A = this chain, B = another copy of it.
Amino acid sequence: MPPTITAFERSPDGGKGLARDTRVRWALEEVGQPYEVRLVSFKAMKEPAHLALNPFGQIPTYEEGDLALFETGAIVFHIAQTRAGLLPKDAHARARAIAWMFAAVNSVEPPILELQNALLLERDKPWAAERMPAVKDRIRDRLRQLSVALGDAEWLDGAFSAGDLMMASVLLRLRASGLLDEFPTLAAYVARAEARPAYSRAFAAQWDVNKPAGG
């Protein structure tokens, strides 16, 4: 029985691949693991059956036999831990790849989520325009540091890993803001990630669900 993940019945991003199921689809494609998808509506996500899988009422979730998991980072880690292809075998290199996974979700993504809140939830507030530069500058600080850490390397630490998968996925959220393009090194890094066949397959799979009618 292949694992089953959940995804939005209709993603709020209209198929840009920014919903978090794309991260899990990508991980599954990288390791060559077939999977099934159960689509859930916004309404169903807040109902007991889904809350039993994810207490925060979000997608994706992951079910495989007796195991039920939530949290994208944890699901990607579980896939990487149980299949070959996303984490180095060497124990130290593996620990460093995991460090980049946590860096993606705890050092880089939080200021990006703050921008998202500013754009989605506070766009009509009187402070929206005046507050925006500082929100963006907090992201720029992180991108500058990340750009230095990457240097002219292809990936963050040796071969492509779950750390790169998570980091590129987080950075992708910035493209529409223009902030990613301010850091050509990082824009090129994300483009390399998107060029991976596994990413293309993951993107196509979510597009198939979310593309506009007639798209």
Contact = CB atoms under 8 A, between A and B. Distances in A.
Interface stretch (A105-113, A179-187, A202-210): A105-113
Nearest to A93: B67
Contact of A146 (B55, B67, B75, B117): B55
A5 to B, nearest CB: 14
Interface in A50-104: 51, 55-58, 66-67, 69-75, 77-78, 81, 92, 95-96, 98-103
A176 interface: no
Nearest to A156: B55
Interface of A: 51, 55-58, 66-67, 69-75, 77-78, 81, 92, 95-96, 98-103, 105-107, 109-110, 113-114, 117, 121-122, 125-127, 130-131, 134, 138, 142, 145-146, 148-149
A103 B56 contact: yes
Contact of A131 (B103, B105, B127): B127
A125 B126 CA distance: 12
How many monomers of this chain does the complex have?
2
A45 B76 CA distance: 31
11 contacts: A55-B145, A57-B145, A67-B95, A74-B99, A74-B101, A77-B98, A110-B110, A114-B117, A117-B138, A121-B134, A127-B130
B77 A107 contact: no
A74 B95 contact: yes
Contacts of A126: 127, 130
Given A66-B92, A145-B56, A134 B122 contact: yes
